[in-house]
Amino acid sequence: MTFGLLMLLATAVPGQEARIDTGRIDGAMFRIIIPANWNNNLVMYAHGYEMPTMSGGPAAFHNARSDMSVKPFLDRGFAVARSAYRKRGWALVEGVDDTEALRAYFFSKFGKPDTCYITGHSMGGGITLATIENYGKYYLGAMPMCPLSSHPYLQTKMALDINAVFTAMFPGILPPLADVTSGKAQSISFPAVQSAIANDTTLAAAIARRYELKPKDLPMVIMFNDGVIRDISQQAGGNPFDNTNTLYAGFPDDLEVNLKVERLQASPGTENFFDKYDRTGNIDCPTLLLHTIYDQLIPASMAVVSFDNMVHEKGKQSNLTVVYTNGEGHCNFTPEETGKAFDLLRKWVKSGTKPKPGIL
């Protein structure tokens, strides 16, 4: 393990003076914030998915605005450590490894804290769960928020399924998925997707309903899915998804959809792409999962139901409770909701009494 140039300096965080420690570990930028009123406790924070095409590079994650996302923890006297990971895009494995390397660095430089928690949004919620499944001995509790908590293959294949069904019902709008996964396809047109949906709102609503979406969110989800499919296929060295045996159902004419939908076989050599840090449900510390009542990118069936079933299969249901807000949108939590959920987790860890699941 190699460490880059480290800087320890005083800087302003809203409402208090804080120490900032930044640098690189094996190529991954990190940022540690230690508030002036540090209580010798630590939160490891894992950020979510960033499209590879976003401008600014990994350093864009580390700025004053991003510091606000962890303000509820800083306000409670916790130090916060975050890794930018070694790459953008799909980075579940790198996120787990780089977060663990940063945790080890913090323990070495600042001493073992009195308590250590881990949390994160979206893909970062998946990194949170994979971390406690594999490195749980270092943590007293975890708070995955709007998490990628199902099996990564199933959760990302849903992106391909949605776009495949959309093309079967609205032909000619999206490029063939075979071209998307091979990197040959041109960028898709957002106005064209919007226009197609506007011309047949009934059919679009059927697709949205099947995948736990609101029709207004369907164009954005299709665009997001396209980017994810391209990113993962490039990283995997080919298409890692196989829908040749998928039976699509829940539409106005299921037979028509299945006859028209594009079928793809997984490319040779991609079979193990999702294996490392696949979800297990084997959690040994209090885990409070926070979700909104509606999430257009990670619906409740994937974020909550799938993982809850895995936890029950492992007999670890005493370590999981799910709380939700009445908010709408992916990871759309207020700072107050984040703080309240974190307080519930801390109380659970201290008292040993599991909080009741339900609305926050």
Residue by residue, DSSP assigns 284-344 as -S-EEEEEEEE-SSS-HIIIIIHHHHHHHHTT-GGGEEEEEEEEESTT---HHHHHHHHHH
What pLDDT is stored for residue 53 in this prediction?
A: 74
Give tens-digit pLDDT for 67-97: 778 999 999 999 999 999 999 999 999 999 9
Pairing of strands 320-328, 358-359: parallel
Task: Please name which of 8, 24, 13 lies closest in space to residue 83, comparing C-alpha atoms.
Answer: 24
What pLDDT is stored for residue 64 in this prediction?
A: 59
Cα separations in angstroms, 109 against 6, 35, 287, 342, 351: 11, 16, 27, 26, 30
Pairing of strands 28-35, 79-83: antiparallel
Q: How many CA atoms lie within 13 A of 275 on its CB side?
A: 5
Average pLDDT, the chain: 93
Q: How many angstroms from the chain centroid is the CA of residue 180?
A: 22
What string of DSSP letters covers 214-240? Answer: -GGGHHHHHHHHHHHHHHHHHHHTS--
Three-state SS for 38? coil
The domain 7-151+279-359 having CATH identifier 3.30.43.10: the answer here is: no
Task: Please name which of 83, 103, 97, 68 lies closest in space to residue 30, comparing C-alpha atoms.
Answer: 83
> CA–CA separation, 244 vs 204, rounded Å?
24
Residue with more model confidence, 326 or 58: 326
Residue ranges of the chain assigned to CATH 3.40.50.1820: 7-151+279-359
Q: Is the pLDDT of residue 317 over 60?
A: yes
Task: Please name which of 178, 20, 46, 52 lies closest in space to residue 99, comparing C-alpha atoms.
Answer: 46
Three-state SS for 76? coil
The identity of residue 137, as a single letter, is: K
State the DSSP code for 13: E
> Crossing angle for the helix pair 190-199 and 218-236, nearest 10 degrees?
130
Q: Is the pLDDT of residue 129 over 90?
A: yes
pLDDT band at 17 (very low <50, low <70, confident <90, very high): confident
What pLDDT is stored for residue 18 in this prediction?
A: 86
Give tens-digit pLDDT for 250-279: 999 999 999 999 999 999 999 999 999 999
pTM of this prediction exceeds 0.85: yes
